Amino acid sequence: MADSRESFEFLTKRIDEALKGEEDRDGKLRKVCRLLKDNVPYYNWVGFYIVDEKRRNELVLGPFEGERTEHTRIAFGRGICGQAAQIGRTFLVQDVSKEKNYLSCSTNVKSEIVVPIFKNKKVIGELDIDSHALSPFTNQDEAFLKRVSEMVSRIL
Ligand code: SME
């Protein structure tokens, strides 16, 4: 991308529009996944995990774009997703081969960022992005994805 700030600004607007659309919740979330995966070359798998309302300490896979994954339910504390949910903060792993508590989806994945989605200060879900590149994520990605999570929180 020529200027990632500009692109993230543009994507933020497109995501805002998608979230204001007519579709149901999952339709909107799928659109967000598609916008992120199709417009940022190093976002190779983009998905949402939602906290199971009945079993508060488990994440359930929601809409996603990319390869199918066997990790459709993840307990809090397990893998990068479970750790981010338990601790309630963004987990950025620039090289997954160095992370011991990691659930592998595909050998192509080299790095991952997981951003929690909060409602009333509680984690209600998260945005998960896998990349086939090593160390692709910058502070700008992190700030942008936090913004996206805040926007998504409004429809959850
Ligand atoms: N790698 C994740 C599991 C989910 S997949 O990336 C889609 C983890 O370690 O929690």
Domain count, the chain: 1
Please tell me if the CB atom of residue 128 comes closer than 6 angstroms to any atom of ligand 1: yes
Give 3's pLDDT tier (boundaries 50, 70, 90): low
Q: What is the pLDDT of residues 80-104, one digit of tens each?
A: 999 999 999 999 999 999 999 999 9
Please tell me if the CB atom of residue 69 comes closer than 6 angstroms to any atom of ligand 1: yes
CATH of the domain at 57: 3.30.450.40
Please tell me if the CB atom of residue 4 comes closer than 6 angstroms to any atom of ligand 1: no
Please tell me if the CB atom of residue 65 comes closer than 6 angstroms to any atom of ligand 1: no
Calculate the CA 38 to chain-centre distance.
14
Closest CA relative to residue 119, chosen from 144, 87, 94, 154:
154
Please tell me if the CB atom of residue 86 comes closer than 6 angstroms to any atom of ligand 1: no
Ligand 1, pocket-test mutation among 45, 59, 104, most atoms within 8 A of CB:
104
Distance (Å, whole) CA 146 – CA 137: 13
The parent domain of residue 90 ranges over 4-153
